[in-house]
Structure 1
């Protein structure tokens, strides 16, 4: 049965493959374990492994491009690359500007990280990376939002007292909490977004469906869950 599922998925991928010979994948390269630059100076992480496998299944030649988070959607729209694969949660607001594939991880809980458990999460100063669903949530929560261009800066803001806590994906914060005994999770987890998917230009429906078929084939044969467990980025499907 598994072989039959794989064969059907492969046919679906081939039938919907994009006419483009090379697809440029845009990522941030600054959000481990999702995507980061390793010691050799190469793009690494869950999404690097995932993107390479999706391109292999779709029989696409792919190259990688790094881009700052705050301009990652505008640069997709302007044609600097063909798809975003950068830990981007699917939201209605973003979907008005670009299209998304189906999600390749379930919704990942967000969490607060602070230096003490007495932080006022509703009325305090909360750091978040700019243009993220966490920043939008904090802005609507009644707390004072301070935004930063990179995730590293949000953690630094907590450590230097500029912010009482940071709100980010729990999968990003968990290794930091394990490494630094002064940092701790506070308050309840916050469920946000509709999972993480690839961002595609609205003018490229064939490319979206090509990646949809490849993602589905990885869900069907269990390899996507294996990759999620390897990198510990989310719960599994």
Structure 2
């Protein structure tokens, strides 16, 4: 993977930023309510609304591109799209490879969820989505980590008894707790420095445009309104 990222970095310099015409907004499309594919086959969710508003404020023409999570950074670097807006937490490790805007979602909690109480969270078998900060955390706890490509796959693994619990963003797990018989276990775990847009290091001008647009949404309350719309009155806001 290291070699892949380094090669992609070289490609990024030749890919350049074509955002003067159209900015391609890269997302996963499989992490509701942050981002998902709706019944019409379109990207929807919190980040679709945020991203469209940011592009409007910045005066940019934007189109949406989906990519599997585990290759989302390499494909940004190789020029397949110009941003990552996909529930990606800002971390020092990622910041060594790509650049980030300021956060558009405040630092939030990760949590464990299971179908039964009494799961050994430090010694059991825990599912997490691959290449996430949650997977990295589980790997340090002494539990057996099993990684899956999507959040839905981690949920299915709990439901079919393949694993004991899932560890993910608490907001992403909340619908499963409310509607599908899951329960939160243990204490919340704060991870990351909020969620930001990922960009190539070479796209400093694009970063400046999006940072200014995020500032505007924070100032006029529209970002808080979307946070509450998708994550409820108790969610962290600006």
The answer to whether residue 15 in structure 2 is matched with residue 40 in structure 1 is no
CA distance in 2 between counterparts of 1:125 and 1:109 reads 21
The residue aligned with 1:179 is 179
CA distance in 2 between counterparts of 1:164 and 1:80 reads 37
1:43-192 matches, within 5 Å, as 43-181=43-181, 183-192=182-191
TM-score (norm. length: structure 1): 0.90
The residue aligned with 1:235 is 236
Q: Where does structure 2 lack aligned partners over 5 or more consecutive residues?
A: 1-17
Cα 1:126/1:83, change in 2 over 3 Å: same
Q: For residues 87-131 of structure 1, give each alpha carbon's deviation from its aligned partner in whole angstroms, at most 9, with x where no partner exists.
A: 000000000000000000111211101111100001111100000
Quote how far apart the aligned CAs of 1:21 are: 1.8
CA distance in 2 between counterparts of 1:166 and 1:20 reads 42
CA distance in 1 between counterparts of 2:52 and 2:215 reads 15
Runs of 4+ off more than 4 Å: none
Quote how far apart the aligned CAs of 1:169 are: 0.6
TM-score (norm. length: structure 2): 0.90
Alignment: residue pair count: 219
* RMSD between superposed Cα atoms in Å: 1.1
The residue aligned with 1:209 is 208
Cα pair 2:129 2:135 within 8 Å, conserved? yes
Structure with the bigger RCO (C-alpha within 8 Å, sep 6+) is 1
